[in-house]
Amino acid sequence: MRAVLSNEVGGPETLVVAEVDEPAAGPGEVVIAVEAAALNFMDTLIIRDRYQVKPARPFSPSAECAGRIAALGAGVEGLAVGERVLAYVGHGAAREKVVAPARVVVPVPDAVPADVAAGLSVAYGTTVHALRDRGRLAAGETLVVTGATGGVGQAAVEIGKLMGARVIACVGGPDKVAAARALGADDVVDLSAGDPKEAVKALTGGAGADVVYDAVGADLVDPLVRATAWGGRYLVIGFAGGDIPKLALNLVLLKSIDVVGVHWGRWTERDPAGQAANMRWLLAEVAAGRLRPTVHARYALEDTAAALAEIEARRVRGKVVLVP
């Protein structure tokens, strides 16, 4: 079968498509015939050995996929050959077939296309865990989202609205304002136009945000902590801005703010049942038409380098999907 392989440390141009052996399901595992595998920004890092997980080479990028079960290992119950499923595998999904532990496999309703299902685990799974489990976001609260037109940012705007929040989207330029509004944001803060603290304060009548979903970090942390309401929750999602910032803890004390880390990947290992429940909720919302994730583009395995280059250049609006 064909697989995209990282044989050496480097950028997207170092990836190759090669023939590899067909996988076999061990005890507690399933083989999935991949119909779609989604790419994320983390894939641009993992092939350069700049991600927190460094797989042994050769390995395939892509952490999430959807398809049909091709084989079941010993002891697997509740799943069937031919069943439509999705899976979060960490890395390795950019190939025609992938082995996954049965505990990470979730059935996909017929109403959800494979290319949409493939892109739900990382961005949307992270966001549901962040907003529901960690941030305790309630209907009527105000949610600020940084990087609102990026992968997890888009998911946060969409899910925040689905949960009944007022969403303030922060974007890095006037060209992204319309895109954030199209996602459903109630208000948009253009970070190139001024101080985000003052903008959020003005939009909330001085009260500040109940929840901040921060996937950027860098120089946004100080002003947005200052723009967090009394008793608010500041969710640390990631550091797409590059620098890992330092925080003056007196700001946390003075307004009784919760600064909450969101390590979704580790949580999925510690609570696979909770992750599966969140994915079932997401799939039900998509199947009912209440959540409509966008697929930016579909690529063949041979075009993986071009797909990752688009992600790296931040030209993507939605999910990028490989179709073997």
pLDDT bin (cut points 50, 70, 90) of residue 51 is confident
Cα 324 to Cα 316: distance, rounded to the nearest angstrom = 20
Provide the residue ranges of all domains of the chain, joining segments of one domain with +: 2-120+293-322, 124-264
Query: Would you say the CATH fold of 124-264 matches that of 2-120+293-322?
Result: yes
pLDDT bin (cut points 50, 70, 90) of residue 245 is confident
Dihedral sign (CA 189, 192, 194, 197): positive
Instruction: Convert the pLDDT of each residue in 113-123 to its tens digit.
Output: 999 999 999 99
| DSSP codes joined into one string, 211-264 | EEEES--GGGHHHHHHTEEEEEEEEE---TTSS-----HHHHHHTT-EEEE--H
| DSSP codes joined into one string, 252-266 | HHHTT-EEEE--HHH
pLDDT bin (cut points 50, 70, 90) of residue 318 is confident
Dihedral sign (CA 295, 297, 301, 307): negative
Cα 290 to Cα 230: distance, rounded to the nearest angstrom = 31
Instruction: Convert the pLDDT of each residue in 165-205 to its tens digit.
Output: 999 999 988 989 999 999 999 999 999 888 999 999 999 99
- Return the CATH superfamily for domain 2-120+293-322: Medium-chain alcohol dehydrogenases, catalytic domain (3.90.180.10)
Q: Which amino acid is residue 22, in one-letter code?
A: E
pLDDT at 242 exceeding the cut of 80: no
Instruction: Convert the pLDDT of each residue in 293-312 to its tens digit.
Output: 999 999 999 999 999 999 98
Could you tell me what percentage of the chain is helix, strand and coil, using 3-state DSSP and rounding each to the nearest 5? 35, 25, 40
CB 307 within 8 A of CB 17: no
Q: Which residues contact 99 (CB under 8 A, 6 or more apart)?
A: 23, 24, 25, 26, 29, 30, 31, 32
Whole-prediction pTM value?
A: 0.93
Cα 73 to Cα 26: distance, rounded to the nearest angstrom = 5
Angstrom distances, CA of residue 208 to CA of 47, 61, 100, 224, 251: 39, 40, 43, 9, 13
What is the architecture, at CATH level 2, of domain 124-264? Alpha-Beta Complex (3.90)
The pLDDT of residue 243: 79
Nearest to 124 by CA among 318, 307, 258: 318
Q: Counting beta carbons within 10 angstroms of the beta carbon of residue 322, is it exposed (0 to 12), middle (13 to 18) or buried (19 or more)?
A: buried
The pLDDT of residue 239: 87
The radius of gyration of the chain's CA atoms, rounded to the nearest angstrom, is 20
